[in-house]
Structure formats: structure tokens, C-alpha cells
Amino acid sequence: MERAKLILEYLRVLIWPATVLAICLVFRKQVVGLFSRIQRAQLPGGFSFDLAEGIQEAKALSTKVQEAPRPTHAEGRRGPTLPLTEANSRIIQLGLRPSPSGLDMSYYRNLAEQDPNVALAGLRIEFDVLARNLATGFKVPIERQDTGERLLRKLYDHGAITSEQMQLGLKVLQVCNATVHGQPVSLEQAKSVIQSAEVLADQYLSWLSWGFDDGWEPGGGING
């Protein structure tokens, strides 16, 4: 019974991201063209972004994040790493929105084989979900209109994430936005962005493991 309820809840919260990705795959050319026109309307003169440079910056930032000291709130709280197979179960248990990929970045690598731009559009959705979940978990005030970028800055201002984590998240979102707005991306470029994003996904898994005081352990549910 509990498993059935979990599956129903999982489907309910994921229906919107799944629908968006399905629409992107079926109408990829129209969606890219639409976003491109919207962006040009918002920014007279057209949207300009050096994609290759942005991808290299994301790669460099991912290395800095891996090497940076852990946030103060994480010190002394090195719990077991959450298995990918349990990621969304744990997220739902905490009352958060499940990850479209189950926090498994190979989902986006496989999607990139079909369409690199659509893969990064999906990654954009993923990061918005993760930023909102982090803000909820750290009790950071959230407004309806908050974007992933704004939430990352709020998380940094509240000491929930490091400067390096914020910068990497912002850079990944910036690159994803550029591709969504019509800038073509190669398969190798998309995979590079996904690899950079994987660093933050792994740290998010750690947060789900040690970030709460409910006695939970991977594979064991709630202790007590």
C-alpha cells in the first residue's frame, strides 16, 4: 500500500516536468524558435552569449566546487551517500518535489544523444527543482516568481551553499538558457555541461543523506 501511494505521489509531482520534456522532444524546432523570438523581443539587438566560453567556465567551476571546503553547516555531518535508486523516495518523504531524472545525470546524457538542446532544457528544469527544494529544506523564503538563479543567490545569502556552488549553478543555468533560446549546442558540449552539473547533483544527494535529523539511513527508512 505504501509503495502504491509513493508511486502515485511520484507521478503526480512529475507530471509537469515530464510533459514539458515530451513537448520539447516532439516539437523541438518550434520550441527553440519560440524561445528565440521571445528572447529577442526582451533584449533588443538579439541574445548574445559565447557558449563555448560558458561551458569552459562551468567545467572550471565544477573543479573548484569539488575542491572547495564544505559549507559550515555541513561540518561533522558526513553521512552515507544516498543511492540513486532511493533519491526520489527520500525527496518525497521530505515533502519536496522529486527530481525529473531521479538525480541520475545519465538520463540527460542519454537524452543528449537524441537532441542536445532538449537535454539541456531538461537540465534547466532539474536545476530549478533542486534550487527550490534546497530553499525549502533550509527554510529560505520563496516567492512564486523566484527563478532558479534567484533561489541560488538567496541560498548563498543565507549561508546554505558556498560561493563556488552558487557560481557553478548560475553558470550551468546560463548555458542551458542560451541553448533553450535557440543557440545550437553539440553533443560533446551538452555532455560537458551535464558532467559539470553532476558535481552539484552528487552534493545534493549528500545533503539528502546528512541534512536532516530524522534518523534516516539509506535502505533503512526512519530509525526508531
pLDDT (tens digit, 9 = 90+) per residue, 21-35? 555 555 555 444 444
Is 220 inside a domain boundary? no
pLDDT (tens digit, 9 = 90+) per residue, 127-174? 999 999 999 988 999 998 999 999 999 999 999 899 999 999 999 999
Instruction: Give the chain's domain count.
Output: 1
Is 221 inside a domain boundary? no
pTM score of the predicted model: 0.71
What SS3 state is found at 214? coil
Residues 201 and 88: beta-carbon distance below 8 Å: no
pLDDT (tens digit, 9 = 90+) per residue, 38-73? 333 333 344 456 888 999 999 999 999 988 776 555
Q: Could you list the residue range(s) of the whole structural domain that residue 149 is in?
A: 2-214
Is 222 inside a domain boundary? no
Is 145 inside a domain boundary? yes
d(CA 171, CA 149): 9
Is 219 inside a domain boundary? no
Is 223 inside a domain boundary? no
Which residue would you say has higher pLDDT here, 146 or 222? 146
What SS3 state is found at 217? strand
